[in-house]
Amino acid sequence: METRNNLLQKSLHVSLLVLLGVFVLLSSFKKQRWDTDIFWALRTGEWIATHMSVPETDPFSFTFHGREWIDFTWGFQLIAHIFYTYLGGWWGLFVLQCIITGTTFILLYLLLRTIAEDRHWLVTGLLYVTFVIAVNRFFIRPHLFGYLFIVTYFYIFTLSERGRAGRAIFFLPLLQVLWTNIHSSFVLGIFMAGVWALGSWIDNMREEGALTPPPPQTWLYGGITVLLFGASFINPYGWKLVFFPFIHQMGENAEALRHIQEWQAIPLKKFLFEFYPSPPGWLFVKILWVMALVAMFVSRSVKTRDVIFFAVATYMAVKHIRWIALFPFFTAPLVASNITGYTERRLTRAGLFKLTMVALIPLSLGLILHGVLTSRDHGIGIKPGKFPEGTVSFIKTMKLDGNIFNDYVFGGYLIYNDIKVFIDGRTPTLYSPLFFWKSRVVKTQERWDRLVDEYSLTMALIKRGDGMCKRLLSHEDWIPVMIDDVSALFLKRDSFPEIIEHWELKHTPPCYRPGGYELPQEEEKLKAIDEELQRIRAFYASTGLDRRFYSLHRLTGLVYMRMEDGLTRAREELEMALQIKGRDPYIEYDLGLVELELGELERAEKLFLKAGSFPEALLGLGRTYHRMKRHDEALRILERYMKTRGDHTEPDAYWLAGKSCFELGDTTCTVKYLKMAEFVLTEPRKLAETYYYLGSTYLELNDQKMATLYYSKAIQTKEDYKKGLLELVEIFKRKNLHQRAKNLEKILSTLIDKN
């Protein structure tokens, strides 16, 4: 029976490892969606291969062209270029990422097995926790090699300590040379060797209970530390590259890094105690942090190096967001070591640790599966709508030549397309903190004009949702000529007169606010926008990019929504936008409005529900339920919308809520919401209807005075309501509501006498 249980555990362990391998592959099978550094890295790798040397000065910008550039990741760039060029472009980079992350987890498995031996629950649990914490940083950049080298060094030092490394430890200087030329995290290799040396000496003195000379093992690790430091100087830039990681973090550079998201710090309180809305992986950081602390506390044989690694890993995770992924690679081995030591001494108390790790496996598995099933990024290549593909293709097709101001995140993609940039992701390794500051604070016309004069700018590539877009739109010297999903291209009026004459966007809004556009109501202006959009789409069709940009279809759909007899065309365009973009709450909301207007109430309901709980979608759903005569649900949704929007509630919400209350027979609710609607509505038809419903409510409450007042307002606002009230008298009579008919006749008599 025991053998059968062991076999079952091993089978489950192997199955979980295979599944983890699949997840590692899937983490690499993602489209390029936000990181732009890979673009300039590929172009740099090509430059290195062409010139057979590393760049010593900047070849890619016009602002810092010829300035000294320490390209500290040149080795990665060359490797990426080779895989990209000879293995099918982005497929080659997929293969490269699979090799790096796959090898990292294979070595981490071997490391944990060496430490924990046959404790499969511990090995598997730590592997899954590590994956969950680090997976958000699994995209093709040189830091992936950092994880691989960290695990490799841990594995070699662990084997050496156990007398199983053989000569492997003497390969570390060679690995250090590779690491140094691939990524600046090479300093961690020197740090790890130094900690192993110092830790072995301190642990020896703890055992002896006195100050003693370093044991042979300390001398070995100390010698390796010196060799690693010396090996780091074997690089094309010499001492400059060795000390670059420290210079990069100091002085004005530290201030510049503060404005780059991945380099921002995390408050310790937030790191330890905030569970929502932090990324799910942060929960596992906290769990692993607590486990490491507990494991070291209960272990009688905790190593000095474990304490140092734990403290430094915690500091690094708090110091910069991008370093959180390093935390499990440093912490998992020490957790395995200390839990293994504890369970060997206290077999009866091993259950709590085992239960914790066994519980973490399905929790990790669930989180990973959720990410896999809900992700819309799976695939190879560049994800549509994430980079300025359209505007850049326009620049290249029209052969526009000039100095371009570009948003920081667009720089890498411009370099990838052989366009000299204003700034890119090599900040502050190349661009000075002062220059980076200038690029961020261009928020007034005066500052912009100074920047234009200083750098002779003739083009500007701006995020469409950025405030800078609206500022340039109001500048008489800068003209919008092309848009795609993320960017708008502006040209200086006196630099490209012929291009501007043909391509100027006189009517189409190049900028947008979250959720939509500001569009006119006049038919002529809408037709002018449609003509410009068709011209843009014809250009993209000629370059093979017509199916890449959802926003052009969405904007066309919004234009047709406002045009007479345009709803069917609006539906087609919005459906195409959804097909390109995938799920998008704002497009689903727009399409829901179209279906509502077309009378397709069930389709409208589904779309508004899919759009989620942002306020406008709630209002659309409330409208739909009202039209479907599901007044209970309509009132519930509309009240939820009003609570969300507060004083910014749309007038229609009060109007619809009041009418739903009327249909439900709730007179208090009816009066409450319709009186609010009365105050904020401006459309005569809706105002007249509001007065009519209020009059009818007060009639039901036998308040003749108020009923007379509101019926009078309804007739004054819209004469047709007099005829409607006379018909209502006849309806009351047919339903044998004689007293109500009599009261209404009396009110009508009063109104006629007044007139």
For residue range 422-471, list pLDDT tens digits in order.
999 998 889 988 899 999 899 889 999 999 999 999 999 999 989 899 99
Instruction: Map residue 490 onto helix, strand or coil.
Output: strand
- By CB atoms closer than 10 A (0-12, 13-18, 19+), residue 702 is exposed
Of the two residues 265 and 239, the one the predictor is more confident about is 239
Whether residues 278 and 182 share a domain: the answer is yes
The domain containing residue 214 runs over which residues?
2-30+87-239+260-374
Residue 4 burial (CB count, 10 A):
8
In a domain, 22, yes or no: yes
> Where are the extended beta strands (E) located within 225-365?
none
Q: DSSP readout, 529-577?
A: HHHHHHHHHHHHHHTT-TTS-HHHHHHHHHHHHTSTT-HHHHHHHHHHH
- Can you give the pLDDT at residue 514? 66
In a domain, 659, yes or no: no
Q: What is the pLDDT of residues 99-119, one digit of tens each?
A: 999 999 999 999 999 998 888
Residue 18 burial (CB count, 10 A):
9
Q: What is the mean pLDDT of residues 387-413?
A: 96
Structure tokens at 617: 């979608």
- 332 pLDDT more than 80: yes
Q: What is the largest CA-CA distance in the chain?
A: 115
Whether residues 202 and 179 share a domain: the answer is yes
Whether residues 355 and 264 share a domain: the answer is yes
**Can you tell me the distance from the alpha carbon of 178 to that of 5, in angstroms, rounded to the nearest whole number?**
45
**H or E, element range at 491:** strand 487-492
Backbone angles phi, psi at 533, to 5 degrees: -65, -40
Whether residues 334 and 429 share a domain: the answer is no
Instruction: Map residue 113 onto helix, strand or coil.
Output: helix
Q: What's the mean pLDDT when you consider all of the chain?
A: 89
Q: DSSP readout, 421-457?
A: BS--S-TTTTS-HHHHHHHH---SHHHHHHHHHHHTE
Whether residues 350 and 444 share a domain: the answer is no
- 255 pLDDT more than 80: no
- 611 pLDDT more than 50: yes
- Can you give the pLDDT at residue 344? 56
Which residues neighbour 268 within 8 Å (Cβ) at sequence distance 6 or greater? 318
- Can you give the pLDDT at residue 348? 47
Q: What is the mean pLDDT of residues 122-133?
A: 92
- 664 pLDDT more than 80: yes
Helices 120-134 and 280-298, interaxial angle, to 10°? 140
Of the two residues 327 and 276, the one the predictor is more confident about is 327
- Can you give the pLDDT at residue 751? 64
Q: What is the mean pLDDT of residues 19-28?
A: 93
Whether residues 301 and 155 share a domain: the answer is yes
Structure tokens at 623: 């409208």
Number of domains in the chain: 3
Confidence band, pLDDT 50/70/90 cuts, at residue 349: low
- Can you give the pLDDT at residue 643? 94
Tell me what percent of the residues of the chain surpass a pLDDT of 90.
Answer: 62
- Can you give the pLDDT at residue 347? 47
Q: DSSP readout, 602-622?
A: HHHHHHHHHH-SSHHHHHHHH
- 345 pLDDT more than 60: no
Whether residues 308 and 435 share a domain: the answer is no
Whether residues 120 and 211 share a domain: the answer is yes
Q: Domain holding 705: CATH number?
A: 1.25.40
- Given 329, 351, 374, which residue is the final one in a domain? 374
Backbone angles phi, psi at 32, to 5 degrees: -65, 115
- 350 pLDDT more than 80: no
**Structural contact between residues 581 and 557, judged by C-beta atoms closer than 8 angstroms:** no
Q: What is the mean pLDDT of residues 574-603?
A: 94
Q: What is the mean pLDDT of residues 197-206?
A: 91
In this structure, the chain runs to a length of 755
**Structural contact between residues 534 and 563, judged by C-beta atoms closer than 8 angstroms:** no
In a domain, 480, yes or no: yes
**Can you tell me the distance from the alpha carbon of 188 to that of 550, in angstroms, rounded to the nearest whole number?**
44
Q: What is the mean pLDDT of residues 465-483?
A: 94
Q: What is the mean pLDDT of residues 65-77?
A: 95
